[in-house]
Amino acid sequence: MRIWPGQPYPLGATWDGEGVNFALFSEHATGVQLCLFNHPEAAEETARIPLRERTNNVWHVYLPDVRPGQLYGYRVDGPYKPDEGHRFNSAKLLLDPYAKTITHTVGTSDTLFGYRVGDPAEDLTIDDRDSAGDLPKCVVVDSAFTWGDDRPPRTPWNRTVIYECHVKGLTYRHPGVPEQLRGTYLGLASEPIIDHLLRLGVTAVELMPIHHSLSEPHLVERGLTNYWGYNTIGYFAPDARFATGGVGQQVQEFKMMVRALHSVGIEVILDVVYNHTAEGNRLGPTLCFRGIDNVSYYHLSPENPRYYVDFTGTGNTLNMLNARAMQLMMDSLRYWVQEMHVDGYRFDLAPALARELYEVGRLAWFFDIVQQDPVLSQVKLIAEPWDLGPGGYQVGNFPTGWAEWNGRYRDTLRRFWRGDPGQLAGLGFRLSGSSDLYTRGGRNPYASINFVTAHDGFTLQDLVSYNHKHNEANGDDNRDGADENFSNNWGVEGPSEAVNIVRTRERMKRNFIAALAFSQGVPMILHGDELGRTQQGNNNAYCQDNEISWVDWGLDDRDRAALEFTRHVFAIRMQNPVLRRRSFFSGRPVSENGVKDLIWLRPDGQEMTDGDWHDPDNRVLGMLVPGEATDEVDERGRLIKGDTLLLLLNASGRSRYFTLPQLDEPGIWRDVANTARRSPRTVKGAGVQLVAQSLMLLCHERRRS
């Protein structure tokens, strides 16, 4: 085989049409070998090629005889001195951090990828077991793809409706998806799934992690897998679990999925996990970064570098203070935008990326670099604004240009509809865009990603069916998952056919969905909530790759009614610009007659007072938004006038009569959405009866002369 020196950039394995350049960063290694294989599960190499060229700590070689489809990995030599942070071990085959494709291989029991068990001091001695037979292999890929006229939809934030979903979970049980495509990228791009998304009004899918991931050894020992995928080991490689088959096929199929979604105006947002890797703590497997340059890639304890700093609860934290670790993340982010055409990111445990030693800096290095990047600054950036480190709850503290999962929105809406006292003041902020959190630094209402449910926690059906988590199937004696869910089973724990309980639960689900649709900010729907999906009370189904997690598309009458209601309220949102403002309400007049852009009302039709807001027993609220309170413009820059809307919410246990406000403009009020009734109707009289624990949206239709 011919061997040429090659180039230090780009990192990874790059096919140039004639051969392949291999480049790997390692500052502290003493030697690097490129290992070639002829089978994904091969235990022995067909060749070991020493990388003799080293430029700026990048080891490189060019092989003119290698072609796309070649399987490879690395062995890296260097000191094994855990007390100094070094864990080099040439017995371990290592994945290329820049691999574009990784094969799918599942190990077994306590030997999985060299996993350590037993004496916690075992990591002080080197483990000389060869891992090549167990470890997945990297694959050289040809990136050529016919994108045609593919263009990013670039949906404005104020028109965005996000649908959080799992590639397999959404598609695996859909009867309309061809069997061979179920659970795959191509299944997500199939006509039945796209039709469902469009009819819901979805403008963006937020895919749970699709970077290549591995299951933790303790899950494999239990016969489980990391179904969610928050255990990344390949930041450039689409997960092989979601491909139809064939080595390297996942890159092409992922691109086909993106192209199909873009063709109907749906954006693709990736949930990404740059805060930690699948290598776990010091007793975890050596798969990639640990064996390539442990000191460079990970946060190590300053007092004892044998141990990892863990802000994530997974055993390790990537060290974004290191320039090469930061480069890895930035190169990955740009790759998925430029090469794979994705439209944005949701960053898992984002504060872990911003930590400067033990502090979360609001203008940390990470955010500065992302914001100045000409590629990444143009896509949607969403933070999960908390981690497990000191001061890790950072809702509202991210810079301009970022949106955040608004955990306070979730908790306030749950507590309000559960009937908890003292929720009204918080509810006012959440319905109107959370200005208490996001006005600093010139941020907008769409900085708030509003959600009631997400992958982590109860589904909407379970939120109204269980008072307690039921995670026994996970194998941790129900100790995992959140204990406080602000849920209510409304009389019975779990499924019930009692008419009064079912009726209450269905109404409460409609309350949550309608409030989400009619709140200022960016709504996010959890996949299957519109269909009554249940996880049987499991609020941490990360390891349940089975019917607990998969969406059941076999709908009964209640499920179909819930689906139609969800479609209805989100259609109302898209038709009314006053529900999707780009700026916060000011409380100031927006017309010559002195009408303010937002008016809060109590049941007698009068404006709320401070006493009303702070009455712990007050559970009724009206939100009046005049049609003039729009700030959306058409293609000519003219304001798009909306309809005057009145949102009424009653979380109390009894019906309340709500006096309707008198408007200067003649017209009639029409009940366009009502969680206590299905059919809209014209309001007759001076007020409406607001049923206990219900929501109503009224639209003022101007009288034509």
Phi, psi angles (nearest 5°) of residue 361: -90, 130
Q: What are phi and psi of 254, to 5 degrees?
A: -65, -45
Burial of 635 (0-12, 13-18, 19+ CB in 10 A): exposed
Encoded tokens for 379: 């896509």
Asked whether the beta carbons of 74 and 96 are under 8 A apart, the reply is yes
348 is known as an active-site residue? yes
The torsion angles phi and psi of 620, rounded to 5 degrees, stand at: -125, 135
Q: Answer whether 446's CB lies under 8 Å from 680's CB.
A: no
Residue closest to 640 by CA, chosen among 571, 576, 703, 700: 576
Catalytic member of 384, 411, 462, 530? 384
Task: Round to whole Å and give the CA distance between 180 and 194.
Answer: 17
Q: Which of 644, 641, 656 is nearest to 691 (CA)?
A: 656
Contact 623, 556 (CB under 8 A): no
SS (H, E, C) 215-283: CCHHHHHCCCCCCCCCCEEEEEEECHHHCCCCCCHHHHHHHHHHHHHHHCCCEEEEEECCCCCCCCCCC
- Nearest one of 419, 412, 421 to 451, comparing CA atoms: 412
Contact 486, 407 (CB under 8 A): no
Q: Give kind and range of the element (H or E) at residue 213.
A: strand 211-213
Q: Is 293 a catalytic residue?
A: no
Closest CA to 29 of 60, 57, 53: 57
Which of 618, 690, 595 shows the shortest CA–CA distance to 647? 690
- What the block records as the tokens of 556 is 């009964």
**CA 664 to chain CA centroid, nearest Å:** 45
Query: Angle CA(586)–CA(592)–CA(597) in degrees, nearest 5?
Result: 25
Residue type present at position 110: D
Q: How far apart are CA 166 and CA 168, in angstroms?
A: 6
Marked catalytic residue, from 267, 348, 387, 671: 348
Of 168, 165, 166, 175, residue with least CA distance to 554: 175
Distances (CA, A) of 294 to 30, 289, 324, 501, 669: 14, 6, 12, 55, 66
Element holding 558 (H helix, E strand): helix 557-575
3 state SS of 526: strand
Q: Which of 275, 304, 316 has its CA nearest to residue 85?
A: 304
Instruction: Please report where in the chains the tokens 């609020």 appear, as a residue.
Output: 539
Cβ atoms of 693 and 511 within 8 Å: the answer is yes
d(CA 1, CA 307): 42
Structure tokens at 504: 């209450």
Residue 190 tokens, joined? 């199939």
DSSP 3-state percent helix, strand, coil across the chain (nearest 5): 25, 20, 55
Active-site residue list = 348, 384
